[in-house]
């Protein structure tokens, strides 16, 4: 039993030590870090729709998730996965009607973790 537990602990240590550190991820971003939760919620924008739940900035790693009313160009959401995305966030022309303040474009998926 002790050998079994020691093997489990060693395996966990190796997995965690190989995972990229949050600082390394942030230093290698081309855009901003956006974390996407594994499910959507119904929300009311201009129409009723499904919204992603996201974390950005200081909210990352907390229990605070915000409804995301926009689309991320180039990103195809699959339920039951938590994503960490490198995203380009560009302010739109304020004269454009009926769109959000920012346009989001996927640069790359940093991680995609299954949730059971």
The domain limits of the chain are 21-114
Question: Of 53, 56, 66, nearest to 87 (Cα)?
Answer: 56
Q: 19 pLDDT exceeds 50?
A: no
Q: Which residues contact 111 (CB under 8 A, 6 or more apart)?
A: 82, 83, 84
Q: How far apart are CA 91 and CA 23, in angstroms?
A: 26
pLDDT in tens, 91-104: 887 777 667 789 99
Question: Of 91, 46, 37, 35, nearest to 69 (Cα)?
Answer: 46
pLDDT at 97: 65
Q: Is 6 left (phi over 0), alpha (psi -120 to 50) or beta?
A: alpha
The SS3 assignment for 89 reads strand
Q: How many helices and strands in the chain, by DSSP H and E?
A: 2, 6
pLDDT in tens, 24-34: 555 567 899 99
Beta-sheet strands, E only, within 30-97: 32-44, 48-56, 66-68, 72-73, 81-91
- What the block records as the tokens of 111 is 């991680």
Q: 2 pLDDT exceeds 50?
A: no
More confident residue, 108 or 29: 108
């Amino acid at each position: 039993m002790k050998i079994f537990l020691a093997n489990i602990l060693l395996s966990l240590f190796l997995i965690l030590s190989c995972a990229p550190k949050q600082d390394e991820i942030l230093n290698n971003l081309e855009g901003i870090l956006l974390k996407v939760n594994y499910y959507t919620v119904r929300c009311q924008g201009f129409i009723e729709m499904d919204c992603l739940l996201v974390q950005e900035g200081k909210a990352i790693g907390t229990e605070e998730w915000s409804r995301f009313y926009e689309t991320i160009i180039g990103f195809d959401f699959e339920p039951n996965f938590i994503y960490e995305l490198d995203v380009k966030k560009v302010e739109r022309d304020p004269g454009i009607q009926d769109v959000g303040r920012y346009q989001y474009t996927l640069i790359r998926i940093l991680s995609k973790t299954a949730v059971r």
